[in-house]
Amino acid sequence: MKYPQGVRKQQSDSAQRSNEINYGQRGMTLEKDLDKTNQFYLDSKRAIIHKKPTPVQIVDVDYPSRKKAKITEAYFKVPSTSDYNGIYKGKYIDFEAKETRNKTRFPFINIHAHQVEHMRACHNQGGIVFIILKFTVHDEVYLYPFEHFVKHWDVFLADGRKSITYADIKNESILLPIKYNPRYDYLAAVDEFYFE
């Protein structure tokens, strides 16, 4: 493209800032899509599934005025469990949502032991438990049943592999195609794996 008088126009400071990469929201796109999916399920009376809030202990608040109160120090009260829970077809559902930029594996460093143990306890009580994994490089989202995930986790605990291969996840999971509404119809995959 030719610019007038052969000189490229300089970008304004605000335009340059808008071109900068924002890493603050990394990992949040899957959760936003799942929140929209869950709202669709709620509105259509298909299921009741919500993101679980993490309890926080507020320690200090800057309180210059009522309208300008700002939390300046807070801590998590207890370790978080899994991201989402609810009820579908009379069964308890509990799942974690994870994203990875790794194209060949899902590293176990991306999930905490207390989360897995919580999911194991829910599974042992008859709940429907799974992990929704997004491989951002492949732009693919999978519903990974806990029954398959936990086999790899237990090998890891016994000083085995520190990750699950992408190939294993593809073979043991159900691919969730992206749609307009619901964004990721993971309940169709739940029906396929748990109810058929």
187 CB-contact burial (10 Å; exposed 0-12 / middle 13-18 / buried 19+): buried
pLDDT of residue 22: 39
DSSP codes joined into one string, 87-145: EETTEEEEEEEEEE--SSEEEGGGS-HHHHHHHHHHHHTT-EEEEEEEETTTTEEEEEE
- Tokens standing for residue 37: 């999916």
pLDDT of residue 21: 39
31 assigned binding-site residue: no
Residue for token pair 């119809």: 185
pLDDT of residue 75: 65
Cα separation, 54 vs 12, whole angstroms = 40
pLDDT of residue 77: 57
Residue for token pair 């085995």: 160
pLDDT of residue 106: 96
Residue for token pair 């159900």: 174
11 assigned binding-site residue: no
Per-residue pLDDT of the chain (196 residues; tens, 9 = 90+): 444 444 445 555 544 444 443 333 444 589 999 999 999 999 999 999 999 866 666 777 787 777 777 877 766 555 667 889 999 999 999 999 999 999 999 999 999 999 999 999 999 999 999 999 999 999 999 999 999 999 999 999 998 889 999 999 999 999 999 998 899 999 999 999 999 7
pLDDT of residue 86: 96
Contact in structure between 49 and 36 (CB atoms under 8 Å) = no
115 assigned binding-site residue: yes
159 assigned binding-site residue: no
pLDDT of residue 55: 60
- Cα atoms in the 13 Å half-sphere on the side-chain side of 1: 4
Domains of the chain and CATH, by start: 27-52+79-195 (3.40.1350.10)
* Cα torsion through 58, 64, 68, 69, rounded to 10: 10
